[in-house]
Amino acid sequence: MNFLEFLNLSQNLLVGPIPRDLQFKSFENDSYGGNLDLCGLPLKKQCGTSDPSLIPQPLEFEGEDEAYFLVDLPGNQ
């Protein structure tokens, strides 16, 4: 992945170490902001050996599978 010049992963609730690929280390710290459980270079937060049971898991819902989307079109008030 040597062609990517800009990446913004901020505010995505990402968890775990940033991949060790050199490309990921070249992005500014702001690219990863708001992901409090993200660790590794280029961030100052070092990755440790954490308890895997503490890693957030996807939410599971009982019942029917439903999805809702909110669409805001220009001119709607």
The answer to whether position 33 is within a domain reads: yes
The answer to whether position 69 is within a domain reads: no
The answer to whether position 7 is within a domain reads: yes
The answer to whether position 68 is within a domain reads: no
The answer to whether position 64 is within a domain reads: no
CB atoms within 10 A of CB 57: 6
The answer to whether position 63 is within a domain reads: no
The answer to whether position 74 is within a domain reads: no
Between 10 and 60, residue with greater pLDDT: 10
For the chain, give the percent of residues with pLDDT over 90.
Answer: 0
The total number of structural domains in the chain stands at: 1
Give the residue among 19, 59, 56 at the shortest CA–CA distance from 39.
Answer: 19
Task: Label residue 9 exposed, middle or buried (CB < 10 Å: 0-12, 13-18, 19+).
Answer: middle
Where in the sequence is the domain holding 3, given as residue range(s)? 1-51
Q: What letter would DSSP give residue 1? A: -
Whole-model pTM?
A: 0.48
